[in-house]
Amino acid sequence: MPYVGIMGGTFDPIHLGHLAAAEGAMHLVGLDQVLFMPNRQPPHKAGRPVIPAEYRAAMVRLAIAGQPRFAFSDLELRREGPSYTLLTVQALQAEHPDWRFAFLAGMDSLVDLTTWYQYETLLRAIDMVIFTRPGYSTEQRDGALARLGPELAARVRLVEVPGVAVSGTLLRRLAGEGYPLRYLVPDAVAEYISENGLYRNSNHTSTV
């Protein structure tokens, strides 16, 4: 049974931290493949400007092109409405009943997990792999697990993956200032951002 990770997110833009986390998950958790899945309408980021899906999808495709075990999925981009993870997981499980899935996310997701759409059903349906990262205390981690309760907390696996301490917020600001993004994002992504003038012009953004 193939063990497949789902790396969801806005990817605005995708960066080396995303790729390092996915690569680390394959090694540490034993994943056979990672699906990179840009979301259409992130439920927890309503009202934040985001560049259109066509740009985000193109950057993801460029970023993962060199790793044959990384794959692209436009499942959430094709679905109208908020990109609820549970609905995504259910659709994938229906399409691939012979696959086992794990959802890959950062510590910020663990802290907010009890606010996710039907999070209890989600955790009973899929493994959750959480990447630890700087900036979150042991108390925050333990508190988040305690809120889930013993049964659901047992469905969460914490992994520490060496990576790049960079965020989409920082990258958008740097790009808007004309700062070079090389060594922060894949070269092809840096070139794409520069060539298309992304994050330099508010005309590229829309509100989700």
Q: For the segment 109-140, what is each residue's pLDDT rounded down to a tens digit?
A: 999 999 999 999 999 999 999 998 766 788 88
Is residue 82 a contact partner of residue 108, using CB atoms and an 8 Å limit? no
Tokens 């995303």 belong to 18
What is the pTM assigned to this prediction? Answer: 0.91
Closest CA to 90 of 51, 53, 118: 118
Residue type, 73: S
pLDDT tens profile 3-58: 999 999 999 999 999 999 999 999 999 999 999 999 988 776 666 788 999 999 99
> Long-range CB contacts (< 8 A, 24+ apart) of 147-153?
147/113, 147/114, 148/113, 148/114, 148/123, 152/119, 152/120, 152/123, 152/124
C-alpha to C-alpha distance for 190 and 140, rounded to whole angstroms: 34
Buried b (16+ CB within 10 A) or exposed e, 147-158: ebeeebbeebee
122/115 Cα distance (integer angstroms): 12
Q: pLDDT digits over 80-109, tens only?
A: 888 899 999 999 999 999 999 999 999 889
Q: Per the structure, how many domains does the chain have?
A: 1
- Block residue for tokens 């659901």: 152
Residue 96 is part of which domain span?
3-207
- What separation, in Å, do the N-terminal and C-terminal C-alpha atoms of the chain show? 36
Q: Distance between CA atoms of 48 and 193, rounded to whole angstroms? A: 19
Q: What is the CATH number of the domain that holds 11?
A: 3.40.50.620
Q: What is the mean pLDDT of the chain?
A: 91
Q: How far apart are CA 67 and CA 60, in angstroms?
A: 12
- Reference 183, options 69, 12, 9, 17; nearest CA is 17
